[in-house]
Homo-oligomer: A and B are copies of this chain.
């Protein structure tokens, strides 16, 4: 048969997702997942769920979840968008707002999905390199553009900025939509959500996958002016009206209402992060000042790719990026204290035996 039909197939470079393993023996500190289980209140919702209701479509507006998020962040329900993980939320935002003939702008070192969405949706983009200290310079973001995306805190650098920084970006960019991606903000960062009433062109995105231990459920959200949220709703409802399933709506709402558990697990992660940072520094590592649930570190006398590979043989999975400027860095997710003790022990072993 003819192969003529193949000529209109989309030609796209497949994104390769990170390593996964079914082996629960491994210390899996490579995907910025939370080491603690989800809120017991969310688990209770799952166990008591009336499964007969699964035969119905989910509430198309995810009302219960949106209301819980709105209440938590002290905004109106009309300021809240929810989606199937923050990747879905960001992808909808890119489609909704970035339709200019000017390129959108974001830092060179950041979340690897931004250029992937640009390629999928045909959006031009331009990167501003972060400084030698890996910090984003707000003065770079003064040029006319088709939109701005700033991850705060940034990944994989782990560095966060304050509201003065975000307001600078907003003041330089009153003619574009500015997205602040706050996937990691709950581990010590500063949220820009209070600024949405002052800046109608500001969209803040978040996720339940890190600080709320619900990566497996796929819940992301965005908070912004009604003008922005309405466009996102229209785009979402033109793609799939039911992106958030019935269980995620109910469990997500129960999770955000359990603030005590949330705060205690975030604090545990932060405390472990500070301890591991100190221990790594004692071993001679340079560790960036993290406001996230991971640390970004390097060592002057040792090869980080070798460390990554050695740890893998020891069933400790961390993350290494073979990218310019960060080719001698590793990204280490904060696990439980027990997991981090294994990581530190194996890292010491590597340092002692490494003849670079």
Query: Which residues on A are within 8 Å of B, measured CB to CB?
Result: 1-2, 4-6, 8-10, 12-17, 20, 28, 31, 33-38, 42-43, 46-47, 49, 51-60, 84-85, 87-88, 91, 95-100, 116-117, 119-120, 146-147, 174-177, 199-201, 209, 213-218, 227-228, 230-231, 233-235, 237-243, 245-248
Contact = CB atoms under 8 A, between A and B. Distances in A.
Given A55-B215, A245-B248, 8 more contacts: A4-B174, A8-B97, A9-B96, A10-B97, A14-B237, A34-B55, A117-B238, A119-B238
B216 A57 contact: yes
A150 to B, nearest CB: 15
A217 B6 contact: no
Contacts of A248: 245
A200 B1 contact: yes
Contact of A117 (B34, B119, B228, B239): B239
A84 B87 contact: no
Contacts of A59: 20
| Chain A interface, DSSP helix/strand/loop, else mixed | loop
Nearest to A170: B1
A332 to B, nearest CB: 17
Determine how many copies of this chain the complex contains.
Answer: 2
A129 to B, nearest CB: 24
Contact of A231 (B9, B34, B98, B99): B9
A146 B215 CA distance: 38
Contact of A37 (B28, B55, B217): B55
A241 B95 CA distance: 17
21 contacts: A5-B174, A8-B100, A9-B227, A9-B231, A13-B234, A14-B234, A28-B56, A33-B55, A35-B55, A36-B55, A38-B55, A55-B215, A57-B209, A58-B215, A84-B243, A84-B245, A91-B240, A95-B120, A120-B238, A216-B246, A245-B248
Nearest to A96: B10
A57 B245 contact: no
Nearest to A31: B57
A60 B17 CA distance: 7
Contact of A55 (B13, B95, B200, B216): B216
Contacts of A174: 1-2, 4-5
Contacts of A85: 240, 242
A112 to B, nearest CB: 11
